[in-house]
Amino acid sequence: MKNTRFFSFYRVVCLISFSCLSLPLLIQCIRVGGFAGLLWLEGALLAGSAVLLMLPVFDEYVRPSLYYAFAALAVCLGGVLAGLPVRAWVLAVLAVHWLCLLRRCLARYAQLQPLFHNMAVWYSIENQARYSFSLVLYLLAAMLPGPGAPAWVGWALLAPTLGLYALLLVRVYTGRTCFLRPVRELEIKELIRGNLRTVPVQASGEKTEEMARMSRLYARVVSMMEQKRPFLDEGFGLGDLAAAVFTNRGYLSRTINILSGRNFSQFVNYFRVRYGAELLRKDPSLRLISVAQMCGFHSSPSFNTAFKVNMGVTPSVFQERLRHEKFEKELNPQSPSRSQEREQ
């Protein structure tokens, strides 16, 4: 399930969604003494889908979603118990959903810094997926058959309504957007986390021969960075690397940009951070300021920022996890550490 640290929260929202799906049907079945009908089933599916679409994306606070989910459930059950038509209480649930999206939108643009964060591209993808599914939700709600509509209309609407709810459940439990292909999502996430591309990507307008030449140069650059570690010198620059691999600055910069998806500074910081993580794994008791200096960073803030971008956590959090693993290993030498478990 997406974001295991909010596992209980996501379970609660899914339970609320299932309640919006099942309770109206149950109440109507008791009221009429039989099957509630296709219209009620489709309305309940749309209400449940609206709740699932209230879930926050990665950078949003979770609590507001819970409030709006409970509000949607209250509106849904209130409308059913009051004897309102299906269209009426479904519209009320969609109104709550729209207010939730409006609040999310206003909150996002109230703070400028997150808009320029390295994860902003992924946040944008998640938002586009959410708004696209919301548009489908509203279209299906608008197509709910009214009194006197032919029976085939309800049956034709059942499949897309069921499909939307099932797709949103998959989205919740897998953490995927279900908007892009899984391979493309993985590529974006890997690039954001700072993992360098190992397979060259064909750039638009680049000739095959030129890409082959760039690939050979890039392989030499990566090999030099890994073996000789010139980045440990804090004065290391693009000119130094260009001279070491016998090329010019402009061509080297273009090669790194195309094949790694990063500029030169980000490219160097990736190797520095990886070396810093290696030092901490060997000795978690090292002072972080010393690690930053040994990696070639000019200052601790630049080290902290680059470490968070490439490793997903701050150096202090990473160090604390290593210390905890070392302590657990000393208490129980027979059990593998968490890092070893992840490697397995």
Query: Is the dihedral angle over the CA atoms 58, 62, 67, 73 positive or is it negative?
Result: positive
Contact (CB, 8 A) for 286 and 280: yes
Between 48 and 177, whose confidence is greater?
A: 48
My answer on whether 264 and 292 are in the same domain is yes
Lowest mean pLDDT among 32-36, 55-59, 256-260: 55-59
My answer on whether 57 and 126 are in the same domain is yes
pLDDT in tens, 69-114: 999 999 999 999 999 999 999 999 999 999 999 998 888 777 665 5
My answer on whether 161 and 219 are in the same domain is no
Which domain-ending residue is among 140, 156, 188?
188
> Structure tokens of 164?
């939307």
Lowest mean pLDDT among 43-57, 179-193, 312-326: 179-193
> Structure tokens of 11?
């379970």
Task: Work out the mean pLDDT of the chain and round it to a whole number.
Answer: 83
Between 344 and 224, whose confidence is greater?
A: 224
Q: How many CB atoms lie within 10 A of CB 118?
A: 15
My answer on whether 175 and 216 are in the same domain is no
List, in order, residues 6 or more apart from 218 with CB less than 8 Å away.
200, 255, 256, 259, 260
Give the helix, strand, coil percentages of the chain, each rounded to 5.
Answer: 75, 0, 25
Res 339: pLDDT: 46
Which domain-ending residue is among 157, 188, 219?
188
Could you tell me if residue 203 is inside a domain?
Answer: no
Classify each residue of 151-177 as buried b or exposed e, where b means 16 or more C-beta atoms within 10 Å of its C-beta.
Answer: eeebeebeeebeebbeebbebbeeebb
Containing structural domain, residue 242: 208-343
Res 124: pLDDT: 83
pLDDT > 70 fraction of the chain, expressed in percent and rounded: 83
My answer on whether 124 and 164 are in the same domain is yes
Could you tell me if residue 195 is inside a domain?
Answer: no
My answer on whether 184 and 300 are in the same domain is no
User: CA torsion, points 196, 199, 205, 209, in degrees to nearest 10?
Assistant: 120
Could you tell me if residue 28 is inside a domain?
Answer: yes
Contact (CB, 8 A) for 315 and 291: yes
CA distances from 170 to 10, 70, 174 (A): 13, 21, 6
Where are the extended beta strands (E) located within 139-198?
none
Which domain-ending residue is among 125, 158, 188?
188
Could you tell me if residue 149 is inside a domain?
Answer: yes
Between 200 and 172, whose confidence is greater?
A: 172
pLDDT (mean) for 318-329? 78
SS3 236: coil
Distance between alpha carbon 70 and the CA centroid of its chain, in Å? 24
> Structure tokens of 34?
């039989």
My answer on whether 141 and 283 are in the same domain is no
Could you tell me if residue 198 is inside a domain?
Answer: no
pLDDT (mean) for 226-252? 89
Could you tell me if residue 255 is inside a domain?
Answer: yes
pLDDT (mean) for 177-185? 85
> What's 311's domain CATH number?
1.10.10.60
My answer on whether 161 and 25 are in the same domain is yes
Res 211: pLDDT: 80
Backbone φ and ψ of 19, nearest 5°: -65, -40
Q: Looking at the 3D structure of the chain, how many domains does it have?
A: 2
My answer on whether 184 and 215 are in the same domain is no
Maximum separation of any 2 CA atoms in the chain, in Å: 84
My answer on whether 54 and 10 are in the same domain is yes
Could you tell me if residue 224 is inside a domain?
Answer: yes
My answer on whether 103 and 181 are in the same domain is yes
My answer on whether 214 and 164 are in the same domain is no
Could you tell me if residue 202 is inside a domain?
Answer: no
